[in-house]
Amino acid sequence: MTLRRLPDNIVNQIAAGEVIERPASAVKELVENAIDAGATRIDVVMRNGGRSLLSVTDNGKGMSEDELALCFERHATSKLPDEDLVHIQHLGFRGEAIPSIASVSRMTISTRTKDADTGWTLTVEGGTRGDVQPVGMPAGTRVEVRDIFFATPARLKFLKSERAEFGAALDVMRRLAMAYPHIAFSLADEKRTALKVNAAQGDLFEAWLDRLGAIMGREFTENALKIDAERDGIILTGYAGVPTLNRGNAAMQFMFVNGRPVKDKQFTGAVRAAYMDLLARNRHPLLALFLELPPEQVDVNVHPAKAEVRFRDSGGVRGLIIGALRNALAENGHQASSTIGGQVLGAFKPQSVQLPLQSRPSRPVGMGNWSDVQQERRAYQGLQEEAATYHAPLPVSGSVPEIADPLPVQGVGDEQSPAPERPIEDYPLGAARGQLHETYIVAQTRDGMVLVDQHAAHERLVMERMKKAFAENNVPRQMLLLPDVVELDEVSANRISERAEELAQMGLVIEPFGRGAIVVRETPAMLGTCDVKNLIQDLADDLDEYDTALALKDRMDDVFATMACHGSVRSGRRLTAEEMNALLREMEVTPHSGQCNHGRPTYVELKLHDIEKLFGRR
């Protein structure tokens, strides 16, 4: 075969296959062009999922007649003034998008600059160009793409349903709208306007929070933690949700690099590491992070669609993300998601209950005597009086009792001096009023009530104490009166024995004991009395999932979470008022105490006005 140059239309169609995979890809490229043109409003309209029509209108700077003719040429761009592929300052820079789209569709661009008297329009059909014509229009640019992929029918077969294609375009628009909150965006089809956000006002953080609330929901803004960190000239900003606000997938995790929406596996891994001991493995937090760094430290020219980036110092970026998220979560203290209370209220189903009077022998109507009627009336009046007494408000004491050491029967924790008496409203988690089913602590706050899962809460407190003690190289141990022999399968026993030195640093002293068994001589003192055999079995299972080359200190959160689970207050244990109040006070000063080590909430707060709604008082 003879070597030859491919025709321009084939070259353009090959490029279109790399850059324009579906209508959403065209939306992304055209909207990014509008952003680069300085637009403050961008409106997108789609028909039939973008198959029959895709229109993008902006109020940017527009193009002159000569620029309009040139924009359909391959690699014609205004975004590389110095022809430097390192210091890229715009979203687009290759000059491939418009000629690629035009080669597989019927594309019309109409544009006018702000200082021009008339606009200009040009149509290209399957790569065949028409003539530039004058047109009347406001300043800006309008791009219409009709019959996309008509020139490459095989590509049409790979498109999904209209709803799926429109959904993909909506995802693109949402991401770009989050990155540029001071620009108004809209996306509509023939049935509805799926996205409409106005330009946000205020400083950048206020604008971001306003835009994120419009796209990710009001629940996110109510439970979002501000992220603002810098390291070696790299700036990380944005918002991250509290751990108890989570989803079953990572669809609500967004990352932006120099204003460019990206999907990066390293980012996903960093987020998972930051929330490691705060969420179950199948749950994902909600967040939007914006990374700003010098252009020479990131390569955005990795993928034709510019969806992936490569960092010069990937380890530094990962460390910055993990550190910033962990600091924000630690500063959050004991706060849990405000949505939990709403979920609890939604679970209530008000019912009409008829309380029967004391049973009595039935008799035919009209056959009773007057004394029986009088007796029933007196009984009913007595019942009314008792009901009125029952519903009367309970007296509220002005202070809570002095706080004893937290859960003294566990023998754990730092010594704390008794706190002075304080009004009940000064305590975020209120004062303990009782215990339900030996499992849940009921506390009264100034404007509502709090229901605490005593095991989940103490599990988190024990874990945080162990982490603190380990960081200070001071994990107290207690020697078992009779060493416990734990039988395992040979592989698990060997795996545990290999980590004996590291486990000893964490307060767990073990030794091999023959084939397929180990002996436990000491346990962390703060665990108190725990189920040693189940603890060792769970640790063996955890080690089976870890990388064998990974030091336990790199997975210490997982190890401590497993230990804490076996050393916490169990459901079914009766607590005294002092113990319950001590637990509440310690929760208030312990980071991450709003969720247990598995990501579940440790307490539910119900406001008084919400409770009154349940009983029809509001």
Give dist(CA 362, CA 128) in Å, integer.
96
Give dist(CA 103, CA 15) in Å, integer.
9
Structure tokens that stand for 148 in this block: 């996309």
| Side-by-side strand order, sheet with 509-512 | 477-487, 517-524, 509-512
Taking residues 226-231, report their average pLDDT.
94
- Regarding predicted confidence, which is higher, 118 or 333? 118
Q: Is residue 432 exposed (0-12), middle (13-18) or buried (19+ Cβ within 10 Å)?
A: buried
Domain with CATH 3.30.565.10 in the chain: 8-197
- Regarding predicted confidence, which is higher, 448 or 187? 187
Q: Provide, rounded to the nearest whole percent, the portion of the chain with pLDDT above 70.
A: 74
The strand pairing partners of 546, in sequence order, are: none
pLDDT value of position 516: 86
Flag whether the pTM goes above 0.85: no
Which range has the worst mean pLDDT, 4-8, 265-269, 339-343, 494-498?
339-343
- Regarding predicted confidence, which is higher, 214 or 348? 214
Give dist(CA 221, CA 213) in Å, integer.
5
For residue 325, what are the CA distances in angstroms to 226, 240, 285, 335?
9, 8, 11, 15
Domain with CATH 3.30.1370.100 in the chain: 399-618
Residue carrying the six token digits 């418009």: 98
Residue 340, pLDDT > 60, answer no
pLDDT band of residue 333 (cuts 50, 70, 90) is low
Taking residues 58-62, report their average pLDDT.
95
DSSP calls for 120-142:
EEEEEETTEE---EEE---SEEE
Domain with CATH 3.30.230.10 in the chain: 204-331
Indicate the fold that domain 8-197 takes in CATH: Heat Shock Protein 90 (3.30.565)
Which of 308-312, 353-357, 441-445 has maximum average pLDDT?
441-445
Domain 399-618: which CATH class?
alpha beta
Closest CA to 277 of 532, 500, 462, 534: 462
Give dist(CA 76, CA 73) in Å, integer.
6
pLDDT value of position 167: 92
Q: 440-445 and 431-436: which strand pairing?
A: antiparallel
pLDDT per residue as tens digits for the range 554-572: 566 667 777 777 765 556 6
At 156, the amino acid letter reads L
pLDDT value of position 226: 93
Which range has the worst mean pLDDT, 251-255, 284-288, 364-368, 411-415?
411-415
CATH code reported for the domain at 204-331: 3.30.230.10
